[in-house]
């Protein structure tokens, strides 16, 4: 799921719905969440409207 958020204008990309065990805020303007098995849960792109155009019309593409 790709969804615009509130607050710091994040664009959230949810990979899986699981409790967050670890949060990586090591990169500016991006937050990665991981579960207890070290699988990625979600990606938050902060200030998304400045970085990805209009986050409400983001193209959804899944590559497996």
Instruction: Report pLDDT digits (tens) over 2-58.
Output: 555 555 677 888 888 899 999 999 888 899 999 999 999 999 888 877 776 665 665
- Separation CA 46–CA 9 (nearest Å): 6
Q: How far apart are CA 59 and CA 2, in angstroms?
A: 9
Residues 6 or more apart whose Cβ sits within 8 Å of residue 23: 31, 32, 33, 34
d(CA 25, CA 54): 23
pTM (global) more than 0.85:
no
């Amino acid at each position: 799921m790709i969804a615009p958020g509130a607050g710091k204008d994040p664009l959230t990309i949810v990979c899986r719905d699981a409790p967050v065990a670890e949060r990586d805020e090591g990169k500016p303007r991006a937050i990665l969440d991981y579960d207890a098995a070290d699988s990625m849960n979600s990606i938050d792109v902060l200030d998304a409207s400045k970085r990805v155009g209009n986050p409400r019309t983001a193209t959804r593409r899944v590559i497996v």
